[in-house]
Structure 1
């Protein structure tokens, strides 16, 4: 099975200056665990609920912390035609839970470990 068969395409892109209080609110309301971060229309990072959790653990005021301060800047991408095995390999090698799916230098989706697990379970049962 290929990445393109399980990836999500309805990703939310947020501005680098959005605060973590808004990120948390959007995450809870939309049931999403990550957001692509853009600066002047260019994707520059990804912020996840784990980043928000870390800020809470540090005692930070979420309304004061901006996405750019906590986002992961090293975006790990994969081609939509890659296999799920390749995606899992990338995740393990880069110690990430999600990969951005990129085609022709454009982010077109995201695949998470959970997406891979669901695909594997559906093939088994």
Structure 2
């Protein structure tokens, strides 16, 4: 039975160093088949970097992804939830802040990530979002 976020989150989170180039971050995303990575110094959350951030804040601006860093384009004022949070708590934060992914923390340490897809599969495994989230990659 699912009791809290730690039951559905992806752990450990996929991370990159704040100084990693955006090309390196994109390679990590591709290799891990994810659309986002946690930007972290050790276990400390610095921000969240998405594939969309790379496209809109780097490529579309004409910036070189080999020289731009994860820190320079990641979202840094990031909402989080504690690992012991309920699914409802995570849904409420995601809804209020219009988020698709949410870092999970224990104190100052980032320990996982929960996505809309994770929540859909946990709450309604027959939903369209759960089906899409569970599908194999199409690349």
When normalised by structure 1's length, the TM-score is: 0.85
**Counterpart of 2:27 in 1: which secondary structure?**
helix
Which residue of 11, 14, 22 maps to 1:12? 14
Q: How many corresponding residue pairs?
A: 124
When normalised by structure 2's length, the TM-score is: 0.77
Deviations 1:86-112 (A, max 9, x none): 211101212221111112332211111
Gaps of 5+ in 2: 128-139
Deviations 1:65-97 (A, max 9, x none): 111110111121112222222211101212221
Match of 2:24 in 1: 22
CA-atom RMSD, angstroms?
2.0
**Counterpart of 1:28 in 2: which secondary structure?**
helix
Displacement after TM superposition at 1:120 (Å): 2.1
Q: Structure 2 vs 1, CA of residues 117 and 40 (structure 1 numbering), >3 Å: closer, same or farther?
A: closer
Displacement after TM superposition at 1:26 (Å): 1.4
**Counterpart of 2:9 in 1: which secondary structure?**
coil
Any runs of at least 4 consecutive aligned residues in structure 1 with deviations exceeding 4 A, and if so which?
none
**Counterpart of 2:85 in 1: which secondary structure?**
coil
CA distance in 1, matches of 2:60, 2:7: 36
Gaps of 5+ in 1: none
Contact 2:100–2:115 at 8 Å: present in 1 too?
yes
Counterparts of residues 110-125 of structure 1 (less than 5 Å): 110-122=113-125
Q: Structure 2 vs 1, CA of residues 77 and 41 (structure 1 numbering), >3 Å: closer, same or farther?
A: closer
